[in-house]
């Protein structure tokens, strides 16, 4: 959108609750001649949906859930930060953004992303290269810089074209709060509407750094520290003991470590609070797993824990206290943003606008897509405990509807996973037939599993192409005649192409 477009790595927080509330009572960026809305996007880092984090955020529930719409079936299309942020903000799948890793050569980070946007920094945006060139496309910005992006108590920020500033000893999220309020304060005095992205580090794990990141030496990754005033919260909280939580595989000290990690994540989320009088969107770049599926702290997988994220919208015409069940994804956000701003949709969007202004009911609900394309590229990094089994690049589809609920993935090792979440919501029983032919008797919706897999393979191919179905269909062989025959012999199809 034209006008006052802001990007910053700040957070509106309960620490400054009173100040925040009074800011918000003023009309933001309202002008007599310009009725376009303001938009604030809060983008947390690694926040899960399935481990109850949102139920431990009273301010979020009060300001967004009760006053806006909760998209209960919202999925990311890739469960890793930079790729997911690129998809969120471009409306395109990772393999269509040309950014498929957090590091070169597949993720040139900043240098590739110049004309788009970033809130929190890509891994390649550092204290050494922040000005070669500066990120442009924003009227004002204040970015966290590597290698200090993930240091809660030693953040380095870089504002507009200024030199980087170290905030050693201050809690990163609190610094973001002040910066966000500063931007808001300036914004309310502008006549034009604004788009403000607030991308805090929380509840990402802490990565200690006192120098350049050395790819050769392992990173020191620990649970996020809490702000001093939040350290006492949630003393008894535990990772929910769902069926896919596997205590048999992890020893007691490991489990206690992960429960501690869990409490620290909840504590790190406490400063978050969001404001009023505009479209306010709250989400995360990816979900998180912590002991489920025998995995240590981390993301990057296609499991529900990793791909489902909180998604809330509050604003003009958006249903209050409403839970939307339609399947929505991160690539639907940019088209939604365009719709909010009254802009025509771009032709290169892979996503479609989310249901925003009204409750879709009845047959209309059926018209929305049920699929989510899920992909992972790059090198997965374990964030606590021992090294996990390697998480390979994966290409997958998640299909969610009232009648069926499936996850199907192909790994770069050509191993496969197929889960029927109708009967197996915790994804414990891989239905993909093993080479011995076991499980081929399985059926899904009455169809043999092998037949379902053929359809899923075809669907994966369709969804892989640029802009989904239509481009894929366009490139298929067409039925055509090379000559007219007045009959058809099964062993002579030379006059027909495109037939099997």
Ligand X SMILES: *[C@@H]1O[C@H](CO)[C@@H](O)[C@H](O)[C@H]1NC(C)=O
Which positions touch ligand X (CB under 6 A)?
A: 4-5, 66, 98, 105, 108, 139, 148, 154, 156, 166, 168, 190, 192, 210, 251, 253-254, 321, 385-386
Measured CA to CA, the distance from residue 438 to residue 417 in angstroms comes to: 14
CB of 322 to ligand X, least distance (A): 8
Residue closer to ligand X, measured from CB, 206 or 283: 206
Between residues 109 and 433, which has the closer beta carbon with respect to ligand X? 109
Task: Decide whether 215 or 363 has the Cβ nearer to ligand X.
Answer: 215
> Shortest Cβ distance from residue 320 to ligand X (Å)?
7
Query: How far apart are CB 258 and ligand X at their closest, in Å?
Result: 10
412 is annotated as an active-site residue: no
Burial 27-58 (b: 16+ CB within 10 A, else e): ebbbeeeeebbbbbbbbbbbbbbbbebbebbe
Compute CA distances 6 → 13, 188, 426, whole Å: 18, 12, 40
User: Measured from the CB atom, is 4 or 261 closer to ligand X?
Assistant: 4
Tell me how far, at minimum, the Cβ of 155 lies from ligand X, in Å. 8
Q: What is the 3-state secondary structure (H, E, C) of the chain?
A: CCCEEEEECCCCEHHHHHHHHHHHHCCCCCCCCCCCCCEEEEEECCCCCCCCHHHHCHHHHHHHHCCCEEEEEEECCCCCHHHHHHHHHHCCCHHHHCCCCCCCCCCCCHHHHCCCCCCCCCCCCECCCCCCCCCCCCCECEEECECCCCCCCEEEEEECCCCCEEEECCCHHHHHHHHHHHHHHHHCCCCCCEEEEECCCCCCCEEECCCCCCCCCCCEEECCCCCHHHCCCCCCCCCCCCCCECCCCCCHHHHHHHHHHHHHHHHHCCCECCCCCCEEEEEECCCCECCECCCCCECCCCCHHHHECCEEEECCCCCCCEEEEEEEEHHHHHHHHHHHCCCCCCCCCCCCCCCCCCCCCCHHHHHCCCEEEEEECCCCCCCCCCCCCCCCCEEEEEEECCCCEEEEEEECCCCEEEEECCCCCCCCCCCCCCCCCCCCCCEECCEEHHHHHHHHHHHHHHHHCCCCHHHHHHHCCCCEECCCCCCCECCECCCEECCC
Nearest distance, CB of residue 58 and ligand X, angstroms: 13
Query: Smallest distance, Å, CB 370 to ligand X?
Result: 24
Q: Which is closer to ligand X, CB of 168 or CB of 434?
A: 168
Q: What is the closest distance, in whole angstroms, from the C-beta atom of residue 300 to ligand X in the complex? A: 19
Shortest Å distance, C-beta 115 to ligand X? 11
Backbone φ, ψ for residue 67 (5° rounding): -105, 0
Using CB atoms, what's the residue nearest to ligand X?
166
Output 60 or 399, the one with its CB closest to ligand X.
60
Out of 81, 82, 301, 412, which one is annotated catalytic?
81
Residue whose CB is less far from ligand X, 164 or 448: 164
Nearer to ligand X, 168 or 485 (CB): 168
Closest distance of CB 191 from ligand X, Å: 8
Nearer to ligand X, 153 or 421 (CB): 153
Hey, which residues are catalytic here? 81
């Amino acid at each position: 959108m034209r006008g006052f477009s802001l990007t910053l790595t700040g957070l509106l927080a309960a620490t400054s609750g009173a100040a925040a509330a009074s800011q918000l009572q003023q009309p933001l960026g309202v002008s007599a001649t310009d009725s376009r809305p303001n938009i604030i996007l809060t983008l947390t880092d690694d926040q899960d949906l399935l481990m109850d984090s949102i139920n431990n955020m009273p301010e979020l529930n009060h300001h967004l859930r009760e006053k806006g719409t909760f998209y209960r079936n919202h999925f990311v299309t890739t469960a890793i930060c930079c790729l997911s942020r690129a998809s969120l903000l471009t409306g395109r799948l990772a393999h269509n953004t040309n950014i498929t890793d957090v590091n070169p050569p597949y993720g040139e980070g900043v240098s590739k992303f110049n004309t788009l946007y970033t809130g929190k920094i890509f891994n390649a945006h550092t204290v050494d290269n922040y000005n070669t060139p500066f990120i442009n496309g924003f009227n004002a910005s204040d970015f966290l810089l590597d290698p200090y992006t993930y240091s809660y108590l030693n953040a380095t920020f870089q504002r507009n074209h200024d030199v980087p500033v170290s905030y050693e000893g201050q809690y990163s999220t609190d610094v973001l709060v002040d910066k966000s309020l500063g931007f808001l304060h300036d914004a309310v005095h502008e006549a034009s509407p604004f788009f403000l992205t607030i991308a805090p580090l929380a509840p990402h794990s802490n990565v200690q750094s006192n120098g350049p990141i050395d790819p050769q030496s392992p990173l020191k990754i620990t649970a996020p520290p809490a702000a001093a005033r939040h350290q006492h919260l949630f003393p008894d909280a535990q990772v929910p003991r769902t069926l896919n939580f596997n205590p048999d595989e992890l020893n007691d000290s490991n489990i206690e470590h992960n429960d501690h990690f869990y409490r620290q994540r909840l504590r790190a989320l406490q400063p978050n609070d969001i404001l009023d009088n505009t479209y306010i969107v709250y989400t995360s770049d990816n979900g998180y797993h912590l002991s489920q599926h025998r995995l240590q702290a981390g993301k990057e997988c296609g499991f529900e824990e990793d791909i489902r994220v909180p998604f809330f919208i509050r604003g003009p015409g958006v249903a209050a206290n409403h839970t939307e069940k339609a399947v929505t994804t991160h690539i639907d956000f940019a088209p939604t943003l365009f719709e909010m701003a009254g802009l025509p949709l771009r032709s290169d969007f892979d996503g479609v606008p989310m249901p925003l202004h009204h409750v879709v009911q009845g047959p209309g609900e059926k018209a929305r897509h049920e699929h989510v394309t899920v992909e992972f590229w790059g090198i997965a990094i374990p964030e606590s405990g021992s090294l996990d089994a390697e998480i390979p690049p994966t290409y997958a589809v998640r299909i969610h509807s009232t009648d069926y609920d499936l996850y199907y993935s192909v790994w770069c090792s050509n191993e496969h996973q197929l889960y029927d979440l109708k009967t197996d919501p915790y994804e414990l029983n891989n239905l993909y037939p093993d080479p011995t032919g076991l499980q081929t008797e399985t059926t899904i919706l009455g169809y043999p599993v092998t037949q379902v897999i053929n359809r899923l393979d075809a669907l994966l191919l369709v969804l892989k192409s640029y802009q989904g179905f239509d481009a894929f269909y366009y490139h298929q062989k067409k039925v055509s005649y090379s000559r007219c025959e007045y009959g058809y012999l099964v062993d002579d199809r030379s006059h027909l192409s495109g037939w099997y």
